[in-house]
Structure 1
Amino acid sequence: MGPVTGPVDPVEGAGPVEEPVPAPAPRRAWAIDTTPLRNPDYRRLFWGVAATMLGQQMTLVAVPYQVFALTGSSLLVGVTSMVALVPLIVFGLLGGAIADSMDRRRLMLVTGVGSAVTSALLAVQALLPGGGNLWLLWVLTACVSGFSAVNQPTRSAVIPAIVGAEGVPAANALAMTVRQVGVIVGPLLAGVLIAVGDLFITYAVDALGFVVAVLLLRGLPPLPPGRVAGTLRLGAAVRGVGEGFAFLRTQPVLLMTFVVDVIAMCFAWPQAVFPELSEGRYADSPNSLGWLFAGVSIGALLMGLTSGWVSRVDRQGAVVLGAIVVWGVAIIGFGLAPSLWLAVLCLAVAGAGDMVSAVLRSSMLQLAAPEEMRGRMQGVFLVVVAGGPRLGDLRAGAIASAAGVSAAMVSGGVVVVVAMVVIALVVPSFWAFRASRSTYATVPAGEPRPSSPAPESGEGRPGPTAP
């Protein structure tokens, strides 16, 4: 018999046992927490993300496919990711500083409009003779990356202000889950459209999604940073980036949230080899390209829908390391999979591990940084989360071209598993990190937070998030 959480009527057989507490309790133990959706401002943010995800994921399939169709080279598919990486790093870091110096609602609107225009131009270039132009495709890919690099950290930085500290893990799980729906449906739909030769519609859906998101975001209230918003100046933004890194150096645990993800993505991100596998090993399977691109997100979505337990994890550091080990082992299996269904299964397991890691790392970062520093921390987070896979694309593409897909994936997965074991031994403060001991996480929503936490000395002590 499960524990009773409400008052108990001592009279046996008393009718008011209609308080079916035991029934909802088990469901809440695993089902995704939808409490943040009761907040109308978060609903606008949530549906804005939902509106953009389908088209964005279709574009992420269309661009590498178009590059491979134009060049026939997996290496150039990896180079395309590097083309997107440079503006992502520059504008991701500057964008975080900008988000800490101006109204964040206005910044989300400006970058949303820019993303819509750029996606529309991608659709136009797909109509060019010869199936497009590689250099123009690279330029537009860089522009898409730049706008996203400013928009995404801004969106993440406003979540604590909208839902309060206690709602951050659940809000992150909801946003990441709806992303996974787009990441599953988007590649499958893109695969169908690509098969009939319609890249134009693939890119046009992306542009339409950004238009819808902009209309939703217009209904948000002003969202200033945790200090008085001033006039935007490049010099101030650059100095803000330096301040962000100076803060991060005093927070070893937060720094490790970036390090572990860089390792996982750089050594085991599989996307660059998908076009080669779809035309080689899995050529006989229908829509193999779409299934490969959707595989990671199938697992992430299933994990997201059952993520109620994730928002209650206390030993967050240990669970993050374990989740990344699952990712590495699953990528090893993917590299050796002889059939498409087994490859997709391995990718799904990898996606489930990545979902747990992403929710917990994002929550650790949002709650351990003061309000006026959150934009910059989310800028660094974006550079790591989006930049790591691009470096991983280059590594995987290069090794796959030289030694084969299996060698690229298996070697990377082994490195990831070994590295997580080493980090657990060398940085025990990360392994021992507990959410219940995070200073910023315990401050109720609406109350003032310390503007600059005093760093503490000692090996592995992360200042306000000391384990």
Structure 2
Amino acid sequence: MRGRVRFLDTRPLRSSQSFRDLWIGTSASQLGGQIANVAVLAQVWDLTGSPVGTGAIGLATGLPMVLFGLLGGTLADTVDRRAVVRASTVGQLLAAVGLCAQALAGNRNVVLLLALVAMGTTCSALGAPARRAFPVRLLPGDQVAAGLALTNVSFQAAMLAGPALAGLIIARWDFPAAYATQAVAVAVSMLAAVRLPAMRPEGTGAAGGRRRPKRGGWRIVLRRPTLWGSMATDLSATLLAMPIALFPLVNEIRFEGNPQTLGLFLSAVAVGGITAGLLSGTVTRWRRAGLVQLSAAGVWGLALACFGLAGSLWLALGCLAVAGAADTVSVVTRSALVQLETPDAYRGRVSSVEHVIGVAGPELGNFRGGLLASATSASFSLVVGGLSAILAIAAVAATNAPLRAYRTPPAAVKPTAPGVADAAAAAGQVC
């Protein structure tokens, strides 16, 4: 039995049909999204031949995520979350069909392409907080972390397989086939959403009728030390030690700019994340989620500082794999802690804050790393960033005793009908 604990905990897939449907739909959507990301990048480059054009993709995705993610949190705490996810998934499907149609029509207008990308991202942002709140309502409290680990493994697998699959599809059938693949994947996700049970926030009746939430997600987070500490830990790691923008420069300086090596950098992070996910059975059963997240975030910073000093390719890839594994452990434990610590009535808004931090932190971290490297060197930026992240995480740990002491509940009660007390309501009293 002890040997089995070390591997991926698949109890959520066996114990909950609804979670299994959600996981299948989310996994399909993630794979389709990775394929579409590569297709959009390639098509924009084909239309513009300019790094400014490809950089505009970041604006078309990042801005809607930030602007509409918080609105999605309010919706998730006001109306049936299943309805929010259904409607937002329909919007994503329409955007995917639109991308396929413009490719079939031979579109040469990059503004139209980016507008469709922004439409899909907007719909995704509106539904993301409600979708994030599902596992804690569908699973017993002691399986929430395991369910999030399963979701993270599917995401890492999509990151690893999606770009390669996109390359094969585009090479053989061109852009329309890639976008059509995404549309099929989103349709699978929509079917899964249709099968989900009603998921009304606590305090709403069968017909809704909830008043507009008066407190925003940020105020709720700041009132709970475990929440702001967990999110500050994540922000410290990503804002101060995000390495992806520096990959091309490191590759050029140390490895002769080989494009295959650049691909290996990205793959190494994903391989580390998948490995950690597959061996996450032990981690998801540890109740000291706060300490686990703090430790994993510290390992992330240390691994990236070592990557900045690595002279050989294998050592560099090993450091990135360790960083990817630490990132997976940190993300899974943070997500479980946030969901379990947040009362259901506020879970949508808090999830939207978590989502915005998860999107903005890495993007700003890449920008910071690039600026510092342009003024100094890639190695200096990576080492200083990694060590700064460790110091910031240590400061959070030193000043936030509730986060250090936090323990997940051994077994929380899963609500079976609207109005039944949610697991997180009880977990919110735990320090």
Which residue in the other structure is 1:44 paired with? 21
Which residue in the other structure is 1:296 paired with? 269
Q: How does 1:74-223 map to 2 (within 5 A)?
A: 80-123=57-100, 134-191=110-167, 198-223=174-199
> In the alignment, is residue 391 of structure 1 matched against residue 364 of structure 2?
yes
> In the alignment, is residue 345 of structure 1 matched against residue 310 of structure 2?
no
Q: How does 1:194-273 map to 2 (within 5 A)?
A: 198-228=174-204, 240=213, 242-273=215-246
> In the alignment, is residue 356 of structure 1 matched against residue 329 of structure 2?
yes
Is the Cα–Cα contact under 8 Å of residues 188 and 291 in structure 1 kept in the other structure? no
* Bigger radius of gyration: 1
Q: Give the drift of 1:172.
A: 1.0
Structure 2 residue matching 1:419: 3-state secondary structure: helix
Which residue in the other structure is 1:428 paired with? 401
Q: TM-score, normalised by structure 1?
A: 0.79
Is the Cα–Cα contact under 8 Å of residues 174 and 304 in structure 1 kept in the other structure? yes
User: C-alpha root-mean-square deviation of aligned residues, in Å?
Assistant: 3.4
CA distance in structure 2 between the aligned counterparts of 1:207 and 1:279, rounded to whole angstroms? 37
Q: Give the drift of 1:201.
A: 3.7
Identify if the C-alpha distance between structure 1 residues 231 and 331 changes in structure 2 by more than 3 Å, giving closer, same or farther.
Answer: farther
Is the Cα–Cα contact under 8 Å of residues 344 and 425 in structure 2 kept in the other structure? no
Which residue in the other structure is 2:346 paired with? 373
In structure 2, give the amino acid aligned to 1:259.
A
Structure 2 residue matching 1:242: 3-state secondary structure: coil
> In the alignment, is residue 449 of structure 1 matched against residue 421 of structure 2?
yes
Identify if the C-alpha distance between structure 1 residues 399 and 141 changes in structure 2 by more than 3 Å, giving closer, same or farther.
Answer: farther
Q: Give the drift of 1:82.
A: 4.4
**Which shifted more, 49-58 or 195-204?**
195-204
CA distance in structure 2 between the aligned counterparts of 1:306 and 1:189, rounded to whole angstroms? 25
Q: Give the drift of 1:80.
A: 4.1
Identify if the C-alpha distance between structure 1 residues 406 and 333 changes in structure 2 by more than 3 Å, giving closer, same or farther.
Answer: same
Is the Cα–Cα contact under 8 Å of residues 68 and 275 in structure 1 kept in the other structure? no
CA distance in structure 2 between the aligned counterparts of 1:287 and 1:301, rounded to whole angstroms? 20
Pick from 56, 72, 76: which aligns with 2:33?
A: 56
Q: Give the drift of 1:366.
A: 0.9
Q: Give the drift of 1:353.
A: 0.4
CA distance in structure 2 between the aligned counterparts of 1:338 and 1:76, rounded to whole angstroms? 34
Counting aligned pairs with the same residue, the percent is 35
Q: TM-score, normalised by structure 2?
A: 0.85
Identify if the C-alpha distance between structure 1 residues 26 and 406 changes in structure 2 by more than 3 Å, giving closer, same or farther.
Answer: same
CA distance in structure 1 between the aligned counterparts of 2:232 and 2:238, rounded to whole angstroms? 10
CA distance in structure 2 between the aligned counterparts of 1:193 and 1:277, rounded to whole angstroms? 30
Q: Give the drift of 1:210.
A: 0.6
Unpaired runs of 5+ residues, structure 2, are none
Q: Give the drift of 1:66.
A: 5.7
Structure 2 residue matching 1:47: 3-state secondary structure: helix
- Residues 200-234 of structure 1: CA distance to partner in whole angstroms, max 9, x if unpaired? 4444322221111112222222222223269999x
Identify if the C-alpha distance between structure 1 residues 210 and 291 changes in structure 2 by more than 3 Å, giving closer, same or farther.
Answer: farther
In structure 2, give the amino acid aligned to 1:464.
Q
Identify if the C-alpha distance between structure 1 residues 286 and 102 changes in structure 2 by more than 3 Å, giving closer, same or farther.
Answer: same
**Which shifted more, 35-44 or 193-202?**
193-202
Q: Give the drift of 1:355.
A: 0.8
- Residues 215-270 of structure 1: CA distance to partner in whole angstroms, max 9, x if unpaired? 2222222222223269999x96xx53734333222201111111111121122223
- Residues 355-388 of structure 1: CA distance to partner in whole angstroms, max 9, x if unpaired? 1111111111111111221111111111111221
Is the Cα–Cα contact under 8 Å of residues 118 and 140 in structure 1 kept in the other structure? yes
Identify if the C-alpha distance between structure 1 residues 281 and 171 changes in structure 2 by more than 3 Å, giving closer, same or farther.
Answer: same
